[in-house]
Amino acid sequence: MTRPIAHDPSSQERAAEPGSGMAADIADQPEAYARLIAEADQIAEVAAAVAARQPRHVVLTARGSSDHAALYGAYLTEIRIGLPAGLGSPSATTLYGGRADYAGALVIGVSQSGQSPDLCELVTAARASGAVTLAITNEPGSPLAGAAELVLGLSAGHERALPATKTYTTELLALLMVLEGVRAGDGRLGADERAFLDTLPDRAADLLADDTAVQLADRYRFAGSLVVTGRGYAYPTAREAAHKIMETSYVPALAYSGADLLHGPLAVTNPRAPVIAVVGAGPGGEFMRDVVARLDERQAEVTVVGPAEVPGAHARLPVPAVDERFAPLLDILPLQRLTLALALTRGENPDAPPGITKVTPTR
Amino acid sequence: MTRPIAHDPSSQERAAEPGSGMAADIADQPEAYARLIAEADQIAEVAAAVAARQPRHVVLTARGSSDHAALYGAYLTEIRIGLPAGLGSPSATTLYGGRADYAGALVIGVSQSGQSPDLCELVTAARASGAVTLAITNEPGSPLAGAAELVLGLSAGHERALPATKTYTTELLALLMVLEGVRAGDGRLGADERAFLDTLPDRAADLLADDTAVQLADRYRFAGSLVVTGRGYAYPTAREAAHKIMETSYVPALAYSGADLLHGPLAVTNPRAPVIAVVGAGPGGEFMRDVVARLDERQAEVTVVGPAEVPGAHARLPVPAVDERFAPLLDILPLQRLTLALALTRGENPDAPPGITKVTPTR
């Protein structure tokens, strides 16, 4: 399901400039969304094949950024399909020889590269014990794709920088399309989903044209640590943003669900550590408004990612007002731009952070 | 299953001294272990009742420190029982009205206070849809206990300080005893488990008598951030230690699975941020030895919690060499002492951190 991406003749020269690869990956996202949306029929076939097997619960397994996409998939599964969902621990299988019985489960492995041996091993074991298995990967020729019964390619094209951006967002989109298709039973998307997808590439392009996030990066230049928070569908966005900031700017960035933040870690917030709060136009956002008020009481400086002003917040990265279920596909975009600008202002090259590699094989 | 704890006449006076409550809670743990072990017959009855219902998968749900105990329960379930396990997101039910079908599942709510409305709501919804439900709580008269079909009390007695210590470790023990009982089918523990439990209170007491952790706290006094890491069974220990340090010393403490650390966040490690690595005597520890070597290459200063020397580590908190499945009940003890000593050396009162309350109701 991947197709070749036209070679960009200037990519070699631009690669010399720090952050140019990540900037290009970020800018690609509206087109990457459009490419995957154009594959709706093939995705519907995969969804219908899953639905026909009537799974009783869903296990998602992933590492790094893909783990945050998998978490989004877990929320979609529980809320939209009405099946329990959890994130599987590969180490139970790969380290301790656990042989869990996955009969009746849908097991989804999510990985940009499809290379990680631990995910392959979990998917292989699950398939052998009777699970429906699905690989979501940018490399449909990868070992993970080979291990799974069903495969969904991301069609994101080559990702230039080490930190995942367009492969993360297309993972979100692939999960949305396939899980909504499973919900429908015949794999077809409903009117609400189709209406959203019709506008997604343009909305993503408009959002990426807004430079508010770049100004914010300058304000965070000297921050010694950061906190990112969101609840429900917005929690994966908070985790992904914190992860991305850490792997490019090396500033400790703590991610919390808004509910968990009230169970202790609120104590770590203070006037010296900026907070980014994802506050959507729905029930998760309603809850987060109280969290922002509590943070304001603690004199934390809160920047909101959201479609509306929030009392107690000091700044806002504006995003479109969409159903919270769709918001993760848009809300992460200004946070990617913030990540890139922050790394550059701190003198780092986010295209190639030291100490990490694009493909990380773990067992 | 709780019993009254003898009143300590000096507790009022000691309460005035910062950290005295947490110190007393920590010191209680060998006795709290012994009390719960003495209830093995009642726990076996609960385990047998669960096993008779033949659950197909397990969902655990919790907040804060209890969430780390729940994660330990998920590893035990996958490795020892051979059933898929995941952590449920209460917000799917409480915020978005998701009505997941939990038929065939065992749903375990873990909460010191048993008060959090979101956990109660998830357990109630799961029970209504046909799940076996179990509450593990220090308050058997709490709403969570009322919502679940089966209840396991922790018998930990009153916890004086806000940060959970003895309720966390008794949650681990309750999960170990009940899940091993489910594995056996008749609820009875095997010879290995009985042998370990026979020695647990004494080993815990010996470990708490070792002051190495207090010396380490002095070394970390000026740290601007910390990283805690472990893999497999040791990952919950890493998360709990990081959480505890943050809520008492307000220093950003990042917790990673050793595998996830290699997928990006390794870049955040450097000579300025101390790392605590839990390196057990088993497959998780073997994996972590490579992680410690990678951290040493990055000039991070690594302290190991483990039974043996690890090349590349700079210091060690010694713990007994036990099966990794049992190690979380011991490994956290020196880390609790480290947490307490670090908070005190930084001038904080860990008994009552600002901004948090013992019972945190979230929906």
Residue B132, phi-psi category: left (phi > 0), alpha (psi -120 to 50), beta (remainder): beta
Whole-angstrom Cα distance, residue B356 to residue A158? 46
CA of B111, closest CA in chain A: separation in Å? 12
Written as six digits, the tokens of B85 are: 């396990």
| Residue B9: band (very low, low, confident or very high) from pLDDT cuts 50, 70, 90 | very low
Give the tens place of pLDDT for each residue, A204-257. Answer: 999 999 999 999 999 999 999 999 999 999 999 999 999 999 989 989 899 999
Whole-angstrom Cα distance, residue B224 to residue B222? 6
- pLDDT of B12: 47
Give the tens place of pLDDT for each residue, B141-188. Answer: 999 999 999 999 999 999 999 999 999 999 999 999 999 999 999 999
What mean pLDDT do residues B85-95 have? 89
| Residue A335: band (very low, low, confident or very high) from pLDDT cuts 50, 70, 90 | very high
Chain B residues 169-188 with CB within 8 Å of chain A: none
Question: What chain A residue is nearest to B55 in terms of C-alpha separation?
Answer: A101
What mean pLDDT do residues B324-344 have? 98
Q: What is the percent of chain B with per-residue pLDDT over 90, rounded to a whole number? A: 82
Tell which residue, B126, B112, B232, B125, has the closest CA to residue B174: B112
**Under a CB-based contact definition with an 8 Å cutoff, are residues A350 and A161 in contact?**
yes
Q: Say if the Cβ atoms of B65 and A264 lie within 8 Å.
A: yes
Q: Say if the Cβ atoms of A267 and B247 lie within 8 Å.
A: yes
Mean pLDDT, all residues of chain B: 92
Which amino acid belongs to residue B278? V
- What is the reported pTM? 0.92
- Determine the residue among A294, A362, A363 to mutate to test chain B binding: the one whose Cβ has the most chain B Cβ atoms within 10 Å: A362
Torsion angle in degrees (nearest 10) through CA of A234, A236, A240, A241: 20
Written as six digits, the tokens of A167 are: 């492969």
Q: Say if the Cβ atoms of B82 and A101 lie within 8 Å.
A: yes
Q: Say if the Cβ atoms of B360 and A262 lie within 8 Å.
A: yes
Q: Does A266 touch chain B (CB under 8 A)?
A: yes
**Under a CB-based contact definition with an 8 Å cutoff, are residues A60 and B35 in contact?**
no
Query: Which of residues B73 and A267 earns the better pLDDT score?
Result: B73
Chain B residues 192-251 with CB within 8 Å of chain A: 224-225, 231-233, 235, 243, 246-248, 250-251
Q: What is the percent of chain A with per-residue pLDDT over 70, rounded to a whole number? A: 93
Whole-angstrom Cα distance, residue B81 to residue B76? 7
Q: Does A356 touch chain B (CB under 8 A)?
A: yes
Q: Does B129 touch chain A (CB under 8 A)?
A: no
With tokens 């996830």, the residue in question is: B260
**Under a CB-based contact definition with an 8 Å cutoff, are residues A338 and A219 in contact?**
no
Which amino acid belongs to residue A37? I
Q: Say if the Cβ atoms of A87 and B86 lie within 8 Å.
A: yes
Question: What chain B residue is nearest to A94 in terms of C-alpha separation?
Answer: B283
- pLDDT of A80: 96
| Residue B261: band (very low, low, confident or very high) from pLDDT cuts 50, 70, 90 | confident
Whole-angstrom Cα distance, residue A154 to residue B238? 34
Give the tens place of pLDDT for each residue, B189-228. Answer: 999 999 999 999 999 999 999 999 999 999 999 999 999 9
- pLDDT of B264: 67
Chain A residues 243-262 with CB within 8 Å of chain B: 243, 246-248, 250-252, 254, 257, 259-260, 262
Give the tens place of pLDDT for each residue, A158-216. Answer: 999 999 999 999 999 999 999 999 999 999 999 999 999 999 999 999 999 999 999 99
For chains A and B, what is the number of CB pairs under 8 angstroms? 234
Q: Say if the Cβ atoms of B86 and A74 lie within 8 Å.
A: yes
Q: Does B296 touch chain A (CB under 8 A)?
A: no
SS3 of A193-262: the string is: HHHHHHHHHHHHHHHHCCCHHHHHHHHCCCCCCEEEEECHHHHHHHHHHHHHHHHHHCCCEEEEEHHHHH
Tell which residue, B242, B282, B260, B111, has the closest CA to residue A61: B260
Q: Say if the Cβ atoms of A250 and B267 lie within 8 Å.
A: yes
With tokens 């979100």, the residue in question is: A172
Whole-angstrom Cα distance, residue A334 to residue A305? 8
Whole-angstrom Cα distance, residue B8 to residue A266? 31
What lies within 8 Å, CB to CB, of B16 at 6+ separation is none
Of B64, B87, B284, the CB nearest to A264: B64
Q: Say if the Cβ atoms of B252 and A252 lie within 8 Å.
A: yes
What lies within 8 Å, CB to CB, of B347 at 6+ separation is none
E-assigned strands of chain B? 57-62, 85-87, 105-111, 132-137, 150-153, 226-230, 253-257, 275-278, 302-306, 315-318
Question: What chain A residue is nearest to B286 in terms of C-alpha separation?
Answer: A95
Written as six digits, the tokens of B255 are: 């917790």
- List phi, psi (to 5°) of B58: -125, 130
Whole-angstrom Cα distance, residue A314 to residue A329? 24
User: For residue A102, which residues of chain B lie inside 8 Å, CB to CB?
Assistant: 84
- H or E, element range at B226: strand B226-230
Whole-angstrom Cα distance, residue B77 to residue B86? 9
Largest CA distance in chain A: 54
Q: Is B296 exposed, middle or buried (0-12, 13-18, 19+ CB in 10 A)?
A: middle
User: For residue B263, which residues of chain A lie inside 8 Å, CB to CB?
Assistant: 63-64, 356, 360, 362
Whole-angstrom Cα distance, residue A363 to residue A94? 6
